[in-house]
Copies of this chain bind each other. A is one copy, B any other.
Amino acid sequence: MRVILVAGTTRTAAIEGISAAGADPEAMPHTPSADAEIVTYGDVVRAPAVPVSPTGCPTPALVTRAARDVLGFDLTVVDGGLAKPTAAPTVDLGAEPGGDVREDEPVPKAGEIYESAREFGRSLPDDELVIGETIPGGTTTAMGVLRALGEAFPVSSSLPDNPIERKREVVDEALAAADADPGDFADDPIGAARHAGDPVLPAVAGIAAGALDRGAEVTLGGGTQLLAAAAMLRHDWVDAPLRLATTSFLAEDVDLEPAVDRLDLEFAVTDPGFDELEHVAARRYLAGEAKEGVGMGGALWLTADSDIYLTALRQQYVSRADPIVAEVANVAADGG
Interface residues of A (CB under 8 A from B): 40-43, 45-46, 72, 76-78, 85, 87-92, 119-120, 123-125
Assembly CA distance A91 to B124 (angstroms): 19
Please give, as numbers and ranges, the residues of chain B lying within 8 Å of A124 by CB-CB distance: 41, 45, 87
A123, B90: Cβ atoms closer than 8 Å: no
Interface centre among A76, A77, A89, A90 (most CB of B within 10 A): A89
A45, B125: Cβ atoms closer than 8 Å: yes
Q: Which residue of B lies closest to A94 (CB)?
A: B85
Assembly CA distance A85 to B112 (angstroms): 15
Please give, as numbers and ranges, the residues of chain B lying within 8 Å of A77 by CB-CB distance: 89
A46, B123: Cβ atoms closer than 8 Å: yes
Q: Which residue of B lies closest to A77 (CB)?
A: B89
Query: Which one of B42, B72, B88, B123 contacts A87 once the chains associate, using CB atoms below 8 Å?
Result: B123
Q: A46-B120, A124-B41 are in contact. Are A90 and B87 (CB under 8 A)?
A: no
> Shortest CB–CB separation between residue A264 and chain B, in angstroms?
29
B76, A120: Cβ atoms closer than 8 Å: no
B91, A91: Cβ atoms closer than 8 Å: no
Q: Nearest 6 A-B pairs (CB), nearest first?
A: A89-B89, A45-B123, A89-B91, A89-B90, A41-B125, A76-B89
User: 10 more A-B contacts (CB under 8 A) besides A45-B123, A78-B89?
Assistant: A41-B124, A43-B125, A45-B125, A46-B119, A76-B89, A85-B92, A87-B120, A87-B124, A88-B89, A89-B90
Assembly CA distance A88 to B74 (angstroms): 12
Assembly CA distance A134 to B42 (angstroms): 27
- 17 A-B Cβ contacts within 8 A? A41-B124, A43-B125, A45-B123, A45-B124, A46-B120, A72-B72, A76-B89, A77-B89, A85-B92, A87-B91, A87-B120, A87-B123, A87-B124, A88-B89, A89-B89, A89-B91, A90-B90
> Shortest CB–CB separation between residue A294 and chain B, in angstroms?
16
Q: Which residue of B lies closest to A5 (CB)?
A: B89
Please give, as numbers and ranges, the residues of chain B lying within 8 Å of A72 by CB-CB distance: 72
Please give, as numbers and ranges, the residues of chain B lying within 8 Å of A123 by CB-CB distance: 45-46, 87
Q: Which residue of B lies closest to A41 (CB)?
A: B125
Assembly CA distance A119 to B125 (angstroms): 33
Please give, as numbers and ranges, the residues of chain B lying within 8 Å of A42 by CB-CB distance: 125
Assembly CA distance A119 to B45 (angstroms): 9
Interface centre among A43, A77, A92 (most CB of B within 10 A): A92
